[in-house]
Amino acid sequence: MKQFIYKYKVYILAFLTISSIVLVLFAKKSPPTPKITSTTPIDQSQNIDLTMIPAYFFDIPISISDITITSNPVFNFQLVQQNTNTLIATHTLNFQPATTYVITISWQNTILLTHSFTTMKSQVDPLLIQNMKDELARDYPLGQLTPYTTSSYRVVYSAPMTLEITLKNKDVSPEKAIADIKSWVSNNGGDVSAHQYTIATPSN
């Protein structure tokens, strides 16, 4: 009889221990799934500016590492957390004109929201303009400062990274003019060694 009571107590103790472990495991609840309460722009917006930055507002604090963004057509967004409940989707390139973008926001691989917006019409491709600006900045970095004119010479870009110096004063040697222009390039933040310098004489 004593042996039965002992075994009974052991079984009861084991049962209570297992029950406690199960209760502890179930007490550790998984984090709640956030909800997106609003967006900028709102769903199915029209005539959206090509530089617009989408924003997403959540009902609870979220971690940016849990959030992913995809779009159709494919577009390169970079998520930035403005505060605990707000994310923005920045981008370096402009949107394409007259294009509908479908954006999907997911949290831990669970889709929270799919929304769309359509960009404004434009007669000029903004990507083409941006590429042209990049090329100008690369090939003619001091272009906004030219023509550069003094009493002795006039300086313009004759080709990418090539400054043409037209002498206006016969008393100024080509070497002196080039030295002066190199100093001018350096003072204006240009790369002296990356530029080439040519001398031209004014036509009579």
Helix ranges, the chain (H): 2-27, 126-139, 174-187
The arithmetic mean of pLDDT across residues 13-33, rounded, is 58
**Bigger pLDDT: 104 or 1?**
104
Query: Can you name the residues that pair with 20 across neighbouring β-strands?
Result: none
158 vs 160: CA distance, rounded Å: 7
User: What is the topology classification, in CATH, of domain 36-119?
Assistant: Immunoglobulin-like (2.60.40)
Task: Give the long-range contacts of residues 35-40, CB within 8 A, separation 24 or more.
Answer: 35/59, 35/60, 35/112, 36/105, 36/112, 36/113, 39/113, 39/115
Domain regions of the chain by residue span:
36-119, 140-200
Average pLDDT over the chain reads 85
54 vs 57: CA distance, rounded Å: 10
Q: What size, in residues, is the chain?
A: 204
Question: CA torsion angle for 153, 158, 162, 168 (degrees, to 10)?
Answer: -10
Q: State residue 10's pLDDT score.
A: 47
Taking only the tens place, the pLDDT of each residue in 159-203 is 999 999 999 888 889 999 999 999 999 999 999 999 999 998 766
Taking only the tens place, the pLDDT of each residue in 25-80 is 444 567 799 999 999 999 999 999 999 999 999 999 999 999 999 999 999 999 99
C-beta separation of 95 from 75 below 8 A: yes
Q: Give this prediction's pTM.
A: 0.51
The arithmetic mean of pLDDT across residues 5-19, rounded, is 52
